[in-house]
Amino acid sequence: MTALQTSTKAAPMTRREFLYYVWGASMALALAEMGGAILWFVLPRFKAGEFGGLFRIELDQIPPPDTANPIDYPDGRFWLVSAGEKIASDPRTLPGYKTAPGVVALYKICVHLGCIYRWVPTNNRYECPCHGSKYIPNGVRIDGPARRNLDRFVIQAVDAGGQVLAQTQIGDPDSDPTVGLPISIPAGTAALIVDTGKRILGERNPK
């Protein structure tokens, strides 16, 4: 048998090499478990009915358009506003501001420096007690120092089977005039779903 015909056999694995492989596999498994644990704690897991999760509002709980006061949802940290033509055409709205009739969920935090603003029924507006910013019922800013409208949450109108019939437009309100505007409630709507995990920044004001 010549040298070309002689097959070369692989050298058997030494004890040290075997231990290296076992150690490497153990480290990889430990890192994978550690990464999974970190993701488990870091990623939010919000339940329905708590801030960061979904809030279901049945059709009979939605206020009629132009109701005097917004509906307070303290667990979701939002005001639910049903804006009719009266609110949408509020004469206090400054020129160039985008408004529309429909339903909107306003985040309860002032966009200036994060204070909790309040609803003042005698003035028919929201007022921030920290620095005096003021907003009309649909969240449009009418007085500073804030320089944009109130933030709002995404709303879906769903039928009895859960099919989405309408939804708040998502995107950049400064470049798309339809983003964040109140949504109309289509025929066949059974409930609104307010997603407090999806916040749309208020539009920057022209003045």
For residue range 16-32, what is the model confidence (pLDDT) as tens digits? 656 666 666 666 665 55
Mean pLDDT, residues 92-104: 91
Residue 88 in this model has a pLDDT that exceeds 70: yes
Closest by Cα among 159, 150, 170 to 193: 159
pLDDT digits (tens, 9 = 90+) for 146-172: 999 999 999 999 999 999 999 999 999
CA distance 175 to 89: 22
Mean pLDDT, residues 178-190: 94
Q: What pTM, to 2 d.p., does this model score?
A: 0.76
Please tell me the predicted confidence (pLDDT) of residue 49: 58
CA distance 104 to 3: 85
Residue 134 in this model has a pLDDT that exceeds 50: yes
Domains of the chain and any CATH numbers: 54-200 (2.102.10.10)
Please tell me the predicted confidence (pLDDT) of residue 143: 94
Who wins on pLDDT, 199 or 52? 199
CB 114 within 8 A of CB 108: no
Q: Is 36 exposed, middle or buried (0-12, 13-18, 19+ CB in 10 A)?
A: exposed
